[in-house]
Every structure is written in structure tokens, then in C-alpha cells.
Structure 1
Amino acid sequence: GAAPASDEDLRQIVRDHTQDIAQLRQDVGEIKLSQNNLRDEVIAMRAEGKQWRVNSDQKTESLQTSIDKLTREMAVRNGVEQERNRQSQERTQALRRLSLFFGMLCAILGLISTTLFSSQT
């Protein structure tokens, strides 16, 4: 036994439900818009991350190339320095031999001259 609702009461209920449905549709639309915005932001972040990784890889490669180049230059300079040292040592030894030769020559000439001068007296 309950009394049936009047047409006016039913119309009010239908209007309320219609408003509720409209509000739900609006909320769903806003949620979809938010999801789309989030998706776009995630896509942008992924693209930025990929670009950052590419830039980082390029910088790393550039740095490695620079290090390799510097290592080669240092090796060449060390080789040049070693060659200079070797040449310097060769010159020093050549000068020592020459000095020794002149020293011996002077000693021999001194002995000869001493012998010649002592024989004159």
C-alpha cells in the first residue's frame, strides 16, 4: 500500500535524474579531457627523455673522442720527447768520444813534444 506518485512528483524526479545524468556526463567529459592531457604530457616527457638520452650519448661519445685524441697526442708527444732524449744522449756520447779522442791526441802530442824537447837538451 503506498499511494501512487503524482505526475508532478514524477516530473521532478525525472528532472533531478536528468540533471544528475548531465552532471555525470560533464564529469566523464572532464575526466576524459584530463586523461588526454595526462597522456599528452606523458608522451612529451617520453620524447624529452629520449632526446635527453640522445644528447647524453652524443656528449659521451664526443668526450670519449676527445679523450682518445688527447691520449694519441700525448703518446705522440711522449714518443717525440723520447726521441729527443735519445738524440741528446747520442750527441752527448759523441761529444764524450770526441773529447776523449782529443784528450788522447793531446796526451800523445804532449808525450811526443816532451820527448822531442828532452832529446834537444
Structure 2
Amino acid sequence: MSAFAGEITRVWVGGSFVSAKPDPSDVDVTYLLRAEAYDRLDRETLVYLDELTLRAWCVDNDMRVDAHLVRLPERMAVSEMLPSLLQRRTSESFRDIGLYDELWQCTRGASGSNGTPGELRRGYVEVLL
């Protein structure tokens, strides 16, 4: 994916692949793509990348990967990181980063059969490229 899209600066890796499970079932990956690179991609490329990161596509192609592509927000001063000052795309980028951060840290199945995450937290590895 990084060869196709370019400018992926960070990758979050999690899931049972990075756990102590003797037979891990998959690896969870979030590709964090610089805003400038993401914004240069045309609609066809974004659709292709979205399909490439679909769990069903990965399973159909014998890949044990649950992958997501997230647009990083533009670089800005911390003083500009107020919700009321953010443009729509930047706000969505921060929202998506927070969503996947929360998702990868949740322990699934820990609180019963309804699928709600438990209080326990796990982690993921951030790889800088």
C-alpha cells in the first residue's frame, strides 16, 4: 500500500498477531497517510485503497489482516487544535484517529456476549516509517 499511495508516515499494528497467543488469528493495521498525500489521490484511487483495506477482501485473498487507511490531519500549531477552529476534513481526521486508537485498545468480548468492550485495555505498536 505505501508503494501505491506513498507518504504513509506511521502504521499502527495490533491484534492477536502482536499478542502472546500461540496461534494468532490476524493482524490489525492502520495506515496513517499524510493529509497532503491523501488529498492528492483521485476518487478512483481512494475507492481502490478502501477496497484493499476491507476485511472481506483480505480474507478472500488469504490475508489475515484487518486494515484501515486514515488521513492524518494537516500539521498545525497546538494552539490551533481547538475544535471550533478546525476545518471539516481536519476535524474528521482527528475523529478517525481517535476512533481507531480506541478500537485497537479495546479488549473485545471481555464484558459479555453483547460485544461491548470491557474495562481492560490492550495496546498496539506504532511504527514510524
Give the TM-score taking structure 1 as reference length.
0.18
Q: Which protein is bigger by CA-based radius of gyration? A: 1
Which of the two has greater helix per residue? 1
Which of the two has greater strand per residue? 2
**Higher normalized contact order (CA 8 Å, seq sep 6+, divided by chain length):** 2
Give the TM-score taking structure 2 as reference length.
0.17
